[in-house]
Amino acid sequence: MDHIKQFIDANKQRLLDELFELLRFPSVSADPKYKDDVLNTAQYVAKKLRECGADNVEVCPTAGYPIVYGEKLIDPAKPTVLVYGHYDVQPPDPLELWHTPPFEPTVRDGKIFARGACDDKGQFYMHVKAFELMMQTDTLPCNIKFMIEGEEEVGSNNLGIFVKANKERLKADVVLISDTSMISMETPSLETGLRGLSYIEVEVTGPNRDLHSGVYGGAVANPATILAKMIASLHDENNHIAIPGFYDDVINLTDAERKAINQAPYNEQEYKDDLGVNELWGEKGYSTIERTGTRPTLEVNGIWGGYIGEGAKTVLPSKANAKISMRLVPNQSSDKITELFTKHFESIAPPYIKVKITPHHGGEPVVTPTDSVAFRAAEKAITESFGKAPIPTRGGGSIPIVALFEAELGIKTVLMGFGLDSDNLHSPNEKYDIFNYYKGIETLPLFHKYFAELSAK
Ligand code: BES
Ligand code: MN
Ligand code: MN
């Protein structure tokens, strides 16, 4: 443990400076205007892995953005950890709501503000630096492989192809990911599940062109009104999702599981205050923790149509659109839910309009084992570095690749995230606590140590 603290102390400023350099790349995968920046980020990550001592570092091309691979294989008899992360980030919009520019990392109140500070540059880079630490102190106890992708925020479409084509190279005993949250730094936790995702875009078309709302209004259905009604009907009065068959495959938690999940500390007033809402909303019969971690949901991510510019323009729009996502839980299937949604949405369309439905990316839900050697190693590592045992929790977000690793490679994942739900992921003013960054660099070598030790038993 001493060598870990010493390394971090001796390199404190540099560890931060390097992360800042990484955060200055605007690696927005969703927007083609950042293409060169995303590609340069991949090169930077590869360079850093090489500098830390990784072998066979390669920027592997895909049909989209490249995957950075690197490894250090010390002994075939030792277990192998595959570290996964993503160097791409979400678009920074709306820019005007940032207090400091998203790609100029700034420290305020002990926190690093930048797009990607937590999701996922700050988190995956802890692994790179923990690796450097183990190399420099000659304490790497197992084989390690890195796979850092550049398309996580847009659905990891090319990662599946890469994984299928590189099964031998990616062989490992466990996948280790830091791309999730903890309850708080006082209450460390380990996520033991992620929700799946089904993402759909809908377009409702009324008249064949925009109309003068005085000349035609009252005689022709307004697609924006119709779309709003259709969307509103997707939840019933108890906030259950009103798509026939939607819940058919959901595995309900046992009473004991529900009780365990609700043990996690949660203060409703603080939760509401933080979000600035007077009341919470959700599926009847479930707590907030259950609603976000264990229940499927349906959200409108964006809705538009008609005139949204300055001032008032009287118009009856021809079209209205929405982007709708559904979070899924075990044992729901993304394809099946997309199909159920499509059928239902078409069936509720009134004759005044036409509906066009376009599915986007999806992903399958997962639960990760809590009785594995790797999970125990993670518990031990956190207990040692935080002085407190972690609480298992279910995460509400999605990392579609986790189910894919399991299906394609037969490898289970440990989700060892150091972020906080309040870090403003995908929001303006994304942040990551400097404390969490160093704590991660401190904890990860312990994971490797205990994973190697417990695997040998
Ligand atoms: N790191 C997040 C997922 C996450 C965040 C899981 C917090 C648990 C806690 C990841 O980068 C992400 O944003 N995933 C997307 C899905 C993807 C297909 C775009 C998501 O969850 O919306
Ligand atoms: Mn992420
Ligand atoms: Mn994300």
pLDDT digits (tens, 9 = 90+) for 366-406: 999 999 999 999 999 999 999 999 999 999 999 999 999 99
> pLDDT by residue (tens digit) across 274-285?
999 999 999 999
- On the question of pLDDT at 361 being above 90, the answer is no
Predicted local distance difference test score (pLDDT) of residue 237: 98
Helix (H) / strand (E) containing 113 = strand 111-113
**Cβ–ligand 1 contact at 395 (below 6 Å):** yes
**Cβ–ligand 1 contact at 152 (below 6 Å):** yes
Segment 258-263 long-range contacts (CB within 8 Å, at least 24 positions apart): 258/290, 258/294, 260/392, 261/289, 261/290, 261/293, 261/294, 261/393, 261/394, 262/287, 262/289, 262/290, 263/391
Cβ atoms of residues 342 and 234 within 8 Å: no
C-alpha–C-alpha distance, residues 146 and 148, integer Å:
6
| Ligand 1 binding pocket mutation candidate from 367, 399, 420, 432 (most atoms within 8 A of CB) | 399
Query: Which amino acid belongs to residue 35?
Result: K
Ligand 3 centroid from CA 402, angstroms: 14
Ligand 2 centroid from CA 290, angstroms: 22
Ligand 3 centroid from CA 411, angstroms: 22
Task: Return the CATH architecture of domain 196-250+296-363.
Answer: 2-Layer Sandwich (3.30)
Q: Can you point out the beta strands (E) in 115-269?
A: 143-149, 174-177, 181-182, 189-191, 193-194, 196-205
DSSP bridge partners of 89: 28
Query: 143 vs 55, 65, 69, 448, 449, CA distance in Å?
Result: 11, 26, 14, 9, 11
- 3-state per-residue secondary structure call for 278-337: CCCCCCCCCCHHHHHHCCCEEEEEEEEECCCCCCCCCCECCEEEEEEEEEECCCCCHHHH
| CATH code for the part of the protein at 2-194+366-455 | 3.40.630.10
Q: How many CB atoms lie within 10 A of CB 375?
A: 24
Kindly report the protein residue whose alpha carbon is nearest to atom 15 of ligand 1. Answer: 398
Cβ atoms of residues 86 and 397 within 8 Å: no
Predicted local distance difference test score (pLDDT) of residue 238: 98
Average pLDDT, the chain: 97
**Cβ–ligand 1 contact at 46 (below 6 Å):** no
Ligand 3 centroid from CA 426, angstroms: 6
- On the question of pLDDT at 222 being above 70, the answer is yes
Ligand 2 centroid from CA 321, angstroms: 27
Active-site residue among 71, 152, 379, 430?
152
CA dihedral (152, 158, 164, 170) positive or negative = negative
Query: Which amino acid belongs to residue 400?
Result: P
- On the question of pLDDT at 240 being above 80, the answer is yes
| Same CATH fold assignment for domains 2-194+366-455 and 196-250+296-363 | no
Cα angle 307, 312, 314; round to 5: 65
Predicted local distance difference test score (pLDDT) of residue 1: 61
32 Cβ contact partners less than 8 Å away, ≥ 6 residues apart: none
Average pLDDT over residues 1-12: 94
DSSP symbol at 254: P
Q: Smallest Cα–Cα separation from 414: which of 456, 448, 441?
A: 448
pTM of the prediction? 0.94
In three-state secondary structure terms, 106 is strand
Active-site residue among 88, 119, 290, 433?
88
Q: Can you point out the beta strands (E) in 150-288?
A: 174-177, 181-182, 189-191, 193-194, 196-205
Which numbered ligand comes closest to the C-alpha of 120?
2
The full DSSP string for 359-390 is EEEEE--EE--SSSHHHHHHHHHHHHHHSSPP
> pLDDT by residue (tens digit) across 41-81?
999 999 999 999 999 999 999 999 999 999 999 999 999 99
CA dihedral (361, 367, 373, 374) positive or negative = positive
**Cβ–ligand 1 contact at 70 (below 6 Å):** no
Cβ atoms of residues 353 and 221 within 8 Å: yes
| 339 given a catalytic annotation | no
Ligand 1 atom showing the smallest separation from residue 156 Cα = 18
Instruction: Kindly list the domain boundaries of the chain, sorted by start residue.
Output: 2-194+366-455, 196-250+296-363
Predicted local distance difference test score (pLDDT) of residue 242: 98
Predicted local distance difference test score (pLDDT) of residue 116: 98
Provide the pairing of β-strand 193-194 with 189-191: unpaired
What is the percent of the chain where pLDDT is above 90? 97
Average pLDDT over residues 234-255: 97
Residue 409 corresponds to which tokens in the numbers above? Answer: 């490679």
- On the question of pLDDT at 317 being above 70, the answer is yes
Residue 441 corresponds to which tokens in the numbers above? Answer: 């660099």
Ligand 1 atom showing the smallest separation from residue 395 Cα = 8
**Cβ–ligand 1 contact at 119 (below 6 Å):** yes
- On the question of pLDDT at 234 being above 80, the answer is yes
**Cβ–ligand 1 contact at 188 (below 6 Å):** no
Average pLDDT over residues 23-43: 98
Query: 425 vs 89, 191, 384, CA distance in Å?
Result: 10, 17, 28
Cβ atoms of residues 188 and 415 within 8 Å: no
In three-state secondary structure terms, 244 is coil
| 88 given a catalytic annotation | yes
C-alpha–C-alpha distance, residues 43 and 163, integer Å:
20
Q: How many CB atoms lie within 10 A of CB 440?
A: 24
